[in-house]
């Protein structure tokens, strides 16, 4: 406790700090009024002993009188009540032992009162441990003296001092007054503490109730946000599915050079919009801890070509030199990892490099740093000659919805989620991204990632893919397919895509109609939209799985949806669907899923997200 009063202070109000508990304030009050009371009692006893010429008692009482005055001044100047309590107890113990063995040489009512006062005072002021110590320091000499007197063994050269009846009465009365004061003050402090605890408990209950209500509101808010994101995802992805799908169809139809250029621009713009939507949804998944990483096979050079293909076009339109350099030692290796999340990381870094570079170069480099056992460590680096980043802004750019500066936000489009997602995706895998940058000279982003290596080798992938499509065009031409979709544009798109695979599908505009068609028709596979009027895809799938005919109840079902709810995979699995593809989807991946389920309809669920 700090000294905040003048030496001349005598007021208790100046030493009762507001931050003290009720118990500590009561202890200081007990010391303050107890020392005043003790001073007057000791003064009266000092005068009485002086009148009776009791030298030892007079000296003891006088010392205690001076000590009480000094401690009172100490308390009102620097209220260190623990130290003062110890000093009082030590003085009281010395006085008690002195009276027992020197002045009185006997155990009487006064010495018993002194011991009781010391016991109560020590327990109340200093706690159980100190109270026990001071009680024993006073009780043991008293019991020892009684034992010695009983055996007639205590003999000293000093003659015991006698006090008259009035002095004894005064000492006993003073002892009772002090005992009454200690007990009364202790009781009042106890009652006040109980009241404070009750009030605190009541306030705590109110806080707990408010906290529970806040949790419920937060949960409802999270559910509403999730539902909102799902709805917005569905509403945005549905037209994007048509735009991207139709662009792919038109590009595959050998358009004129000018048409091809327009289609590429349209497809690139749609892909950018899809990237923004995916960033918002994925950031929400990351923040909610719902993101799950895959561990599937992929070829890194092929993946890098796919990622940078569209960005190369965007860079060339700005007059930039774009260079992709992939280590040759990785060309024939099949790696295990999550190509979707790796694509997201690289795409965000490369698209940022293109966005913030008005002239100069873009370098994307993939280097094999280390090969050991069945793992490789790969360094990914994206470097540009763009606007650069100020040193004091290097950490801020990784915050969500943030760009390098306010002027940058006005000049360049984007929601500021790309780098935030990059950093979080890497951290979820225990990795860090390194940044070096100079304003007006460009930036370099890099990170290292380790991949397990498959024993397989990459061979002529392009020729195999074309051969696979040719072979399966003949196989799929006899497939009886039911497409359950309520959006007319998506129905048109599906018909055009399936026409290219020699498939003529049946169409159901909602889940209820799909169940009817399955009951009275025969199908080899179903493409099921999830969000539809009348009956959604989940309920329709459950109804189909309950059909008594095992051929109908076991029809392979692929979920087709533009929704992005966190629990969509679990819901698809629980409803009994065989696979899941999100819109906009890649026709080749949908083709492979159809082929896989047709050839092996009892295959385990493969809930991987395409597109």
- Sorted by sequence, the CB contacts under 8 Å of residue 6 that are 6+ apart come out as 77
Q: d(Cα 47, Cα 57) in Å, to the nearest integer?
A: 11
What is the three-class DSSP state of 450? strand
Q: d(Cα 123, Cα 115) in Å, to the nearest integer?
A: 12
Going by the DSSP 8-state scheme, the letter that residue 539 receives in this structure is H
Question: What domains sit in the chain, N to C, each tagged with a CATH number?
Answer: 12-163 (no CATH), 293-458 (3.30.565.10), 463-599 (3.40.50.2300)
Per-residue confidence at 546, pLDDT binned at 50, 70, 90?
very high
What end-to-end distance do the CA atoms of the chain give, in Å? 67
Per-residue confidence at 475, pLDDT binned at 50, 70, 90?
low
Q: What is the 3-state secondary structure (H, E, C) of 488-545?
A: HHHHHHHHHHHHHCCCCCEEECCHHHHHHHHHHCCCCEEEEECCCCCCCHHHHHHHHH
Query: For the segment 377-407, what is each residue's pLDDT rounded down to a tens digit?
Result: 999 999 999 988 888 777 777 776 554 444 4
Compute the Cα dihedral for 49, 50, 54, 56 and give only its sign.
Answer: positive
Tokens 């202890």 belong to which residue? 27
**Are the beta carbons of 323 and 362 closer than 8 angstroms?**
yes
219 phi/psi in degrees, rounded to 5: -65, -45
Q: What confidence score (pLDDT) does residue 241 get?
A: 74
CA distances from 67 to 8, 91, 494 (A): 18, 8, 100
Q: What average pLDDT does the structure give for the chain? A: 80
Q: Looking only at Cα atoms, what is the longest distance across the chain?
A: 132
Query: For the segment 300-321, what is each residue's pLDDT rounded down to a tens digit?
Result: 998 898 888 878 888 888 899 9
CA 273-276-282 angle, 5° bins? 140
**Are the beta carbons of 527 and 540 closer than 8 angstroms?**
no
Tally of residues, the chain: 611
Q: d(Cα 36, Cα 30) in Å, to the nearest integer?
A: 10
Q: What is the 3-state secondary structure (H, E, C) of 333-371?
A: EEEEECHHHHHHHHHHHHHHHHHCCCCCEEEEEEEEEEE
Which tokens belong to 519?
């009951």
**Are the beta carbons of 444 and 306 closer than 8 angstroms?**
no
CA distances from 590 to 306, 484, 594 (A): 18, 15, 6
Q: What confidence score (pLDDT) does residue 174 get?
A: 76
DSSP string, 361-402: EEEEEEEEEEEETTEEEEEEEEEE-SS---GGGTTGGGSTT-
Query: For the segment 490-507, what is each residue's pLDDT rounded down to a tens digit?
Result: 888 888 888 888 888 999
Q: d(Cα 103, Cα 278) in Å, to the nearest integer?
A: 94
CA-wise closest residue to 542 among 521, 522, 559, 564: 559
Query: For the segment 289-304, what is each residue's pLDDT rounded down to a tens digit?
Result: 667 788 888 889 988 9
Q: What confidence score (pLDDT) does residue 585 get?
A: 75
Query: For the segment 106-146, what is each residue's pLDDT rounded down to a tens digit?
Result: 887 777 878 888 888 888 888 889 889 988 998 898 888 88
Q: d(Cα 56, Cα 47) in Å, to the nearest integer?
A: 13
Which tokens belong to 368?
């094999």
Query: For the segment 590-600, what is each residue's pLDDT rounded down to a tens digit?
Result: 888 888 888 76
Stretch among 34-48, 245-259, 343-357, 467-481 having the lowest mean pLDDT: 467-481
* β-bridge mates for residue 448, sequence order: 379
Q: What confidence score (pLDDT) does residue 230 get?
A: 64
Q: d(Cα 131, Cα 181) in Å, to the nearest integer?
A: 18
Q: Where are the alpha helices (DSSP H) in 434-487?
A: 461-476
Q: d(Cα 469, Cα 73) in Å, to the nearest integer?
A: 100
Q: What confidence score (pLDDT) does residue 478 get?
A: 81
Per-residue confidence at 509, pLDDT binned at 50, 70, 90?
very high
CA-wise closest residue to 67 among 101, 50, 43: 43
Per-residue confidence at 556, pLDDT binned at 50, 70, 90?
very high
**Are the beta carbons of 89 and 101 closer than 8 angstroms?**
no
Query: For the segment 192-212, what is each residue's pLDDT rounded down to a tens digit?
Result: 778 878 888 888 888 888 888
435 phi/psi in degrees, rounded to 5: -130, 130
What is the three-class DSSP state of 505? coil
Out of 105-114, 154-163, 235-244, 512-521, the most confident range is 512-521
For 504-532, give one letter per residue: b (16+ CB within 10 A) or e. Answer: ebeebbbbbbbbebbeeeebbbbbbbbbb
Q: d(Cα 351, Cα 362) in Å, to the nearest integer?
A: 10
The verdict on whether omega for the bond into residue 164 sits within 30 degrees of 0, i.e. cis, is no
Tokens 């690139």 belong to which residue? 268
* 244 CA to centre of own chain: 38
Query: For the segment 426-463, what is each residue's pLDDT rounded down to a tens digit?
Result: 998 999 999 998 888 899 999 999 999 988 766 544 44
Q: What confidence score (pLDDT) does residue 146 get?
A: 85
Neighbour count for residue 41 (Cβ, 10 Å): 21
For 345-366, what is the mean pLDDT?
A: 91
């Amino acid at each position: 406790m700090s000294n905040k009063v003048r030496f001349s202070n005598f007021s208790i109000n100046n030493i009762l700090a507001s931050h003290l508990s009720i118990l500590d304030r009561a202890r200081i009050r007990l010391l303050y009024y107890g020392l005043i009371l003790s001073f007057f009692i000791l003064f009266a006893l000092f005068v009485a002993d002086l009148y009776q010429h009791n030298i030892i008692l007079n000296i003891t009482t006088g010392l205690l009188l001076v000590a009480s005055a000094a401690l009172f001044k100490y308390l009102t100047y620097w209220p260190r009540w623990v130290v003062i309590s110890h000093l009082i107890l030590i003085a009281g113990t010395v006085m008690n032992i002195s009276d027992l063995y020197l002045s009185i040489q006997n155990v009487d009512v006064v010495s018993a009162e002194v011991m009781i006062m010391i016991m109560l005072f020590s327990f109340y002021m200093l706690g159980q441990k100190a109270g026990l110590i001071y009680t024993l320091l006073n009780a043991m000499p008293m019991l020892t003296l009684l034992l010695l007197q009983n055996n007639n063994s205590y003999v000293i050269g000093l003659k015991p001092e006698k006090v008259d009846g009035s002095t004894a009465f005064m000492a006993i009365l003073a002892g009772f007054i002090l005992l009454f004061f200690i007990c009364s003050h202790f009781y009042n402090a106890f009652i006040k503490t109980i009241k404070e605890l009750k009030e605190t408990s009541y306030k705590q209950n109110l806080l707990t109730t408010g906290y529970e209500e806040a949790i419920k509101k937060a949960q409802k808010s999270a559910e509403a946000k999730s539902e909102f994101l799902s709805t917005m995802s569905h509403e945005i992805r549905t037209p994007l599915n048509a735009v991207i799908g139709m662009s792919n169809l038109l590009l595959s139809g050998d358009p004129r050079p000018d048409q091809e250029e327009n289609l590429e621009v349209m497809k690139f713009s749609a892909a950018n919009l899809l990237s923004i939507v995916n960033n918002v949804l994925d950031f929400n998944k990351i923040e909610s801890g719902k993101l799950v990483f895959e561990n599937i096979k992929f070829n890194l050079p092929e993946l890098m070509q796919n990622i940078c293909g569209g960005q190369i076009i965007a860079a060339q339109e700005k007059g930039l030199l774009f260079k992709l350099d992939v280590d040759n030692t990785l060309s024939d290796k099949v790696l295990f990892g999550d190509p979707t999340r790796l694509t997201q990381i690289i795409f965000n870094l490369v698209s940022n490099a293109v966005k913030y570079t008005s002239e100069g170069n873009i370098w994307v480099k993939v280097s094999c740093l280390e090969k050991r056992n069945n793992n490789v460590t790969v360094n990914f680096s994206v470097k540009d000659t763009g606007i650069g980043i100020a040193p004091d802004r290097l950490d801020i750019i990784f915050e969500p919805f943030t760009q390098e500066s306010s002027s940058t936000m006005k000049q360049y489009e984007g929601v500021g989620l790309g780098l935030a997602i990059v950093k979080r995706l890497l951290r979820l895998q225990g990795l860090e991204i390194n940044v070096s940058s100079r304003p007006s000279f460009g930036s370099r982003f890099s990170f290292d990632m380790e991949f397990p290596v498959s024993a397989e080798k990459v061979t002529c992938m392009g020729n195999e893919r074309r051969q696979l499509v040719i072979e399966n065009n003949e196989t799929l031409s006899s497939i009886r397919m039911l497409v359950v979709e309520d959006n007319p544009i998506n129905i048109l798109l599906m018909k055009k895509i399936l026409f290219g695979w020699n498939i003529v599908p049946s169409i159901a505009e909602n889940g209820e109609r799909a169940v009817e068609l399955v009951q009275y028709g025969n199908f080899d596979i179903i493409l099921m939209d999830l969000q539809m009027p009348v009956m959604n895809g989940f309920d329709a799938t459950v109804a189909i799985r309950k059909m008594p005919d095992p051929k109908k109840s076991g029809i392979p079902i692929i979920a087709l949806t533009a929704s992005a709810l966190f629990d969509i995979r679990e819901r698809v699995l629980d409803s009994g669907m065989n696979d899941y593809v999100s819109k906009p989807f890649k026709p080749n991946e949908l083709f492979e899923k159809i082929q896989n389920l047709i050839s092996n309809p009892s295959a385990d669920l493969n809930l991987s997200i395409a597109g």
